[in-house]
Every structure is written in C-alpha cells, then in structure tokens.
Amino acid sequence: MPNKVLDARNITVTYKTEKGPLDTVRNVTLQICSGEVYGLVGESGSGKSTLARAIVRYLPENGFLKSGEIYLGDTNLLSLSRAEMRQVWGGRITMVHQDPNAAINPSIMIGEQIAEVARTHLKLSKQEARDKALEMLNKVRMADPEEVAKRYAHQLSGGMLQRVLIAIAMATNPELLIMDEPTTALDVTTEAVILDMIGDLMCEYNTAVLYITHNLGVVARVCNRVGVLYAGEIMEEGSISQVFKNKLHPYTRGLLGCVPRVDVNKKDISLKAIPGYIPQPDQLPSGCVFAPRCELVEPACRETQPLLNEIESGHLSACRRYEILKNYGEVIADTRQVQDEQEYGDLILEARNIKKYFPVSGGRSLFNKSRRVEVKAVDDISVRMRRSSTMGIVGESGCGKTTFARCIMGLEEATAGEIELEGELLPYAVAKRSWEILRKMQMVFQNPDASLNPQHPAGEAVARPLVLLRNLNKKAVRERVKELFEAVNLPEDFIDRLPHELSGGEKQRVAIARAFAADPVLMVCDEPISSLDVSVQASLMNLLVDLQESKGTSYLFISHDLSAVRHLSDWIAVVYLGRLWEIGSAEDVFIPPYHPYTEALLSAIPIPDPDIKQESIRLKGSVPSAMRIPSGCRFHTRCPRKIGEICEKKEPPWQDIGKYHQICCHIPQEELINLQGDGLIKKVQNTRGDIV
C-alpha cells in the first residue's frame, strides 16, 4: 500500500480584490501517494497554479486559504510558521516552474544554484555540495556537467535550463515535487526529451508528483492519475485510463474533442469546440459551474451544485448525468461531409529560393568588412501555394519559419530570391509594394495584444483596411464591419469595445476579421492560436476552416504545434535551420517514408490517448546556431538516422516520393520505408479503428 504523501482536503482559496473577496479555488481535495504522478489539467484561469501555491503556502499577499487542511505526511502544514515552512520548501516540497529562462538567477553560476540547496537542506559542506551539484547534473543527463556548472543561465538553452531546474528540485530527494507547466515553454522535440527524463527519474525516486499542465497529451504521457480542474473545482478525477477512456464529465470530453488529431484533418472532422468561456470567479453560475457551456445541461443542473461522486473505484465525476455519458461511445468529434475531391486550384504564390541573411552587429570591424558574420535565418526556401489551400510550415523555434513568412509579407526584406503573387513579381520591401498587393496579402500575428492598438475600438481595427485598401465609403465600411464581425462569430456590440475588454480568443477573432477585411488572396498566420487555451484554439481552427471554404483564401500557417498543422493544412513544409527538408501533401508527410527530422517531430507530439505507444525518436541537443551551420546535411549533428560520412560532407539530394511529396535526405526512400515500417499514423489508426 503506497503511503499518502500529500493530503489536501477541502481547499478553498480566496483573493481579496476590488470586487470583494473571490473564491478562486473551491473545496478541492487532492491526495497524492509516493511514486505517483498526479496530473492537474485545466484551461488558464481554472485555478491550477493558485491551488499549487496554496498547497505550498506561497500565495500572493492578497490571497489566503479560507478553509481546508493540508498534510504532508504527518505534518500539518497549516500549523507551521513561515520560518518552519522554509524548512519544508526546497527540502520536503520542491517546485519546477514554467519558464526556465526566468526561474534561474541570471547572475549566479548554475552549479552554485544547485549546491546552495544541498548546503541548506542536506547540511553538506561546500565541497560536498559542489559534488552533489555535479551528481544531479549527471542525473538529468546533462552533457559535460563540470562545464555546465560554471556557466550562467544565458549560456544555456531552454531545455538545458529546465534540466537544471529539475536537478535543483530533485537534489534534496523531496517527498513532493510540484511541476507547473514545466515543458510549455519548450519546443516539442525538447519537451519529448524532458518528459522521457521525468518519467525515468520518477521510476528511480519515489517522489509524489503534482504535474500541472493544460496539455492533455502531456498528461497521457507522464501521469498515473489525473484531475480535471474547471473554474476552481475538480470536475473529474481518476486513473489515466479511467479518465481518458470513460470520460465521465462533459468538460473532459469537451477538452479532448478540442485537440486536433494526427490521423484525420479538416476534411474529415471539425473540432468540437466548447462554446463560451470559463466564468470569472465573480460571475460564477449557480448550480454546476460548467452548466452554461454544457451540452447535456438540464434545468436541475442550474439549481443544485453537483457533488464529486466516486462512480467506480478511484474514478470521481462531478456530473449529475454521468450515466448518459457512459452510453455516449467514443465519437467525440463531428465528422464532416467529405466534399468531392477537388482538383488543386491554380497557383497563387510562388516563392523561389528565398534567402534572408542578417548581419551580426559587433561581429564586423570597421576596417575588415570581409570578416562579416551572418545569421542565415532563411537559406534557400522555395514554396508554391495554390488557391484555397493551406500550407503548413513546421519546425522548431529558431528554424526560420517566421522569418520566411515575414519575407513573403515584405516585413523583412529578403536577401535574395523571387516572390510571385498571382503571376506578378513582388518587390522585397512592403513599402515598395502597391496597395493592391497589400490588399491581396494579409497577416495574423501570434500575439493579438501586441497587434491591436489598445486605444482603438475593435471595429476601427477592422475598418482600417476597408478604408485604406478598398476605398469604401463610410456607410459601406460600417456594413462590412458588421458582416465581418458576424463572420468571425463576434456579437455586434463588440465593435465598440476596446481590446482590453476582450479575451485573448476574441482579440484573435478581431485580428482575423481585420485580415479578411481586405479580402485577401493569401493570409499568413504566424502561430495565431499558440497562446490560447485548447477550447479557444479549437473554435478558431474551425473558424479558419469555415472562412477558407466560403472565401477561397489560401493560408500560410506557421506553427510548432504539429497536430494543429496537421488538422488545418493541405500541404506541409518541414523547415530546419533555414532550409526545407520535406514537403508534400499533409497525408503523405504524415506517413512513411518521412525525413528523419519529420519523424522526430512526429514522434514527439504528445497524443492525448494513453493507449498509443509512440515510437520514441529523440533529437540530441538543440538547434545549432544559424551562424555556424553544420557542413553537408545541416541536420547530421542531431540526426538519429545518420548513415555515415556522406551526411557530414555532401548536401543531400531531393528525392521524389510519389507525385506530391519530396524529401531531402541521403537515405534512399526504400530504406527509409524499411526503417520506419508502418510509421506513427498507421498505429494510431489501428488503435482507433472506429474512425476513417
């Protein structure tokens, strides 16, 4: 019988705000045993981090624990003084924070930041603590620990810093480890490596882990048990297989329906977005908190608050109507009428051999211009796009995908290459392009907070392109703005709202409406949904698909999220270190043969289905600097399928695989097929035989 490490009962956390006291977490009970990884999932604003901070008694000044009991082993944490809590922090409970770049002190050496914990809690001498630091760096599989210990935070990559945080957290062999979105700030490939490592460490140590995340795929990969938090209350709790298979709460179902799947795409299904938004703590509905967004709602749901009931052993749900859910079956997404396979549209954009080199400031002396150092952000990328189709561009951060898109838009002046839009050769700089070209190409940026003027009402943002690019008169503009707001599913009275009165998803809808106002031929979407919650992501993806269908716009969709790209794209281009490695129709790219880089990206996707055992193909290290590009095949330094010297010496050739699929690799395609077998997607289809 494993012993209970954390026993937190009936936690209610209250914040004192201008609107009066608000209960942001209500009546949550959480128990974690040693050796168990408990995943706490929920959208932003659900109270995950507040709950974690309440457990360690580190709430902000205006927050306090209104009720509840927290036991760590036999210790009643609420009876401890602040000074006694410091003994617990870092010793018995440790934490790993979300943003590794921010959580490590920039002016203290890495080794010392691990050693200080060992000195404080393990009472080690200076030398012993230093040895402990090296031992821990070894444990988190850091290459060359001696060297890393002497470095500062800015000299390490995000993935390495996250290892350091984990090393710090595990140094004292804590009873409870709390991880707050530990991989959210990392690339998929790095995330996969870190998750593997966390899994292995948990086997070695017998720590109880509270793992907070918004990503259901990550939960399925590392956790044993999961709790779904919504608006400060637990909706469902159980083992991974209980929750992911039986899904006895409509919210859990909703969340899972929002995640795009890697085996089907926009032609087959539309994502099942949860309507509405998470309620603010001052506007909680009476009765069930999820009732306003629930499909199964009945009048009784709005009257009495449902209790969290144990339905089967260890599986709890706060839904009154869970019985109905039991019979609902597996289908969680709406299948779509597959339209007749249409011919590919005509060519609208052709970008040939685009290059963008940035000079490095400081690397060049006044007298010796030839010694100039350049960052080759984009180094020869060619792409063709057809009408009414979506080209997805994927790759790790720093691979040049955003720079490429900005070159197309003219926001960066390309160093070389040709950009042709509907047969017309475009100047590099946006300032030299005609109004008509500007109208034809629009962009949606990642961060709607930064791309909407905070002083201007939402309607004005949408009206600008109508006036500037389409010369409409006032009345026509007003009409069109109304239509556009309707098209992006925003109520009409939002036209007069200022950006700060809108949520993140609503702002991004305004940005999309603004882009469509110009009636563009091509829309460049640079990570438009990455900063949003899953349910909002799903509704935006559906919106993009619908708008494409009705308007015939083509999208250049940039994202590091492969499942989103897979869902939205007809074509996928895989970019690494400023160059293309694989391009083809979305279906083809997701089945073997793949480029080894694509293969690694695919195997890193966290899939929210605990039954799928993905092949783990992991990349070593991080993307090399674009100032020192490796010789031969640029990917050889990290390639898990490197075949030999040829990879280091010769640039690989393009191989045609079928009509619409090309791979740039030295390995012959027959051999790739042999190596990769059925590939990832086949396996997915096998386990989910019910679809396709």
Partner 1 sequence: MTSYLIRRISFIILTLFLASIIIFSVTQLLPGDVAGIILGQFATEQALINLREELGLNRPLHVQYLDWAGSFIRGDWGNSLTSRLPVRPMVMQRLGNSAMLAGLALLIYVPLGIFVGVIAALKRDKWPDQLISGISMAFVGLPEFVSGLLLITFLAIGTGWFPANSSIDVDSTFSEALPYLILPAITVSLTGLGYIARMTRSGTIDVLRTDYVRAADLKGLPARQVLIKHVLRNSLLPTVTVVAMGIGWLLGGLIVTEAVYGYPGLGRLIVYGIQRQDLPIIQASSMIVVGIFSLSNLSADILYGFLNPRIRVGE
Binding-site ranges for partner 1 (CB under 8 A)? 56, 58, 86-91, 94-95, 97-99, 102-108, 116-117, 120-121, 151-152, 154-155, 165, 168, 365
Residue 95: CB minimum distance to partner 1, A: 5
Residue 16: CB minimum distance to partner 1, A: 14
Residue 658: CB minimum distance to partner 1, A: 43
Dihedral (C-alpha) 83, 88, 93, 99: value to the nearest 10 degrees?
30
Residue 79: CB minimum distance to partner 1, A: 18
Judge whether 421 and 437 are in contact, CB under 8 Å: yes
Quick one: 147 or 486, whose CB is closer to partner 1?
Answer: 147
Q: How distant is the alpha carbon of residue 462 from its chain centre?
A: 28
Quick one: 123 or 475, whose CB is closer to partner 1?
Answer: 123
Query: Bridge partners of 516?
Result: none
Residue 197: CB minimum distance to partner 1, A: 19
Residue 397: CB minimum distance to partner 1, A: 17
Quick one: 106 or 299, whose CB is closer to partner 1?
Answer: 106
End-to-end CA distance of the chain: 43
Residue 157: CB minimum distance to partner 1, A: 11
Query: Bridge partners of 93?
Result: 89, 176
Quick one: 245 or 364, whose CB is closer to partner 1?
Answer: 364
Diameter over CA atoms, the chain: 81
- Give me the DSSP letters along 560-586: S-HHHHHHH-SEEEEEETTEEEEEEEH
Residue 133: CB minimum distance to partner 1, A: 13
* Cα 254 from Cα 252, distance rounded (Å): 5
Order of all β-strands in the sheet with 424-425? 374-386, 347-359, 416-421, 424-425
Quick one: 99 or 611, whose CB is closer to partner 1?
Answer: 99
Sequence-separated (6 or more) residues with CB below 8 Å from residue 105: 113, 153
Residue 4: CB minimum distance to partner 1, A: 22
Residue 100: CB minimum distance to partner 1, A: 9
Q: What angle do CA 299, 300, 301 make, to 5 degrees?
A: 90
Quick one: 107 or 342, whose CB is closer to partner 1?
Answer: 107
Query: Bridge partners of 41?
Result: 213, 228
Quick one: 102 or 300, whose CB is closer to partner 1?
Answer: 102
Quick one: 613 or 628, whose CB is closer to partner 1?
Answer: 628
Quick one: 103 or 564, whose CB is closer to partner 1?
Answer: 103
* Cα 83 from Cα 64, distance rounded (Å): 18
Judge whether 149 and 109 are in contact, CB under 8 Å: yes
Sequence-separated (6 or more) residues with CB below 8 Å from residue 620: 637, 638
Residue 98: CB minimum distance to partner 1, A: 8
* Cα 68 from Cα 11, distance rounded (Å): 4
Q: SS3 for 347? A: strand
Quick one: 154 or 650, whose CB is closer to partner 1?
Answer: 154
* Cα 69 from Cα 11, distance rounded (Å): 7
- Angle of helix 534-551 relative to helix 250-258, nearest 10 degrees, comes to 50
Quick one: 155 or 471, whose CB is closer to partner 1?
Answer: 155
Q: Is 127 exposed, middle or buried (0-12, 13-18, 19+ CB in 10 A)?
A: exposed
Written as one letter, the residue type at 447 is: N
Helix (H) or strand (E) holding 302: helix 299-303
Quick one: 107 or 327, whose CB is closer to partner 1?
Answer: 107
Helix (H) or strand (E) holding 654: strand 654-656
- Pick the closest to residue 544 from 562, 525, 560 (CA basis): 525
- Pick the closest to residue 204 from 6, 34, 32 (CA basis): 34
Residue 116: CB minimum distance to partner 1, A: 6
